[in-house]
Chains A and B, each alone.
Chain A
Amino acid sequence: NAGVTQTPKFRILKIGQSMTLQCTQDMNHNYMYWYRQDPGMGLKLIYYSVGAGITDKGEVPNGYNVSRSTTEDFPLRLELAAPSQTSVYFCASSFNAYEQYFGPGTRLTVT
């Protein structure tokens, strides 16, 4: 099993550009999550999904969108990138909403 994979690993965006962060898991987990981790801060939940076709907002959803058309994939979309979205983004999945399995992260810089 590859676990949770994320692409890209690094990305630099200009203000106003858009992009999609990809997340795929091969563990057949129902729960999937997107977090951002700012320097010196804990993880903040952006969006989560409890199954295909179902998504919900977390603590910091503004400026982001998600979709969950399959169990495996949970892409995160940034429509109009802003410097405040410079962060490290982690995708995670879980079988039972207890133990989360994290991807390696995407480091995004918006300038």
Chain B
Amino acid sequence: GNSVTQMEGPVTLSEEAFLTINCTYTATGYPSLFWYVQYPGEGLQLLLKATKADDKGSNKGFEATYRKETTSFHLEKGSVQVSDSAVYFCALENTGNQFYFGTGTSLTVIP
């Protein structure tokens, strides 16, 4: 079946620290992979995506590389800001219509 496993949170970092949030997946075939972000009180927003192996998605200083050999799509940012505080969801799409989300990782950045 299809599933996504994310690293447990919450994660607390100081401003300008390096961020990694781990994500691994299980899927048949060749899924597309996504990171969504949810700010407090809001719905999810697409942060970045990668549709095939070795693709790198990037947006707002965040990056993630689609690694088929390790079935991973880890999210990274070199220098986090207070405004990055949110919940981050890894997701995959494998059937053209259905998405599978991880449990989310809460990030708090302190000044």
Contact = CB atoms under 8 A, between A and B. Distances in A.
A35 B93 CA distance: 15
- Chain B interface size band reads 20 to 34
Chain A, interface SS category: strand
Interface string B80-111: 00000000010001001111111110000000
B100 to A, nearest CB: 8
Nearest to A6: B43
A40 to B, nearest CB: 7
User: Top 5 A-B pairs ranked by shortest CB distance?
Assistant: A102-B43, A42-B101, A43-B101, A42-B103, A102-B44
A80 interface: no
Interface in A57-111: 58-59, 90, 92, 97-100, 102-105
27 contacts: A4-B43, A35-B101, A40-B103, A41-B103, A41-B104, A42-B4, A42-B89, A42-B102, A42-B103, A43-B44, A43-B89, A43-B99, A45-B100, A48-B98, A56-B97, A90-B43, A97-B96, A98-B51, A98-B93, A99-B49, A100-B36, A100-B46, A100-B99, A102-B43, A103-B43, A104-B43, A105-B43
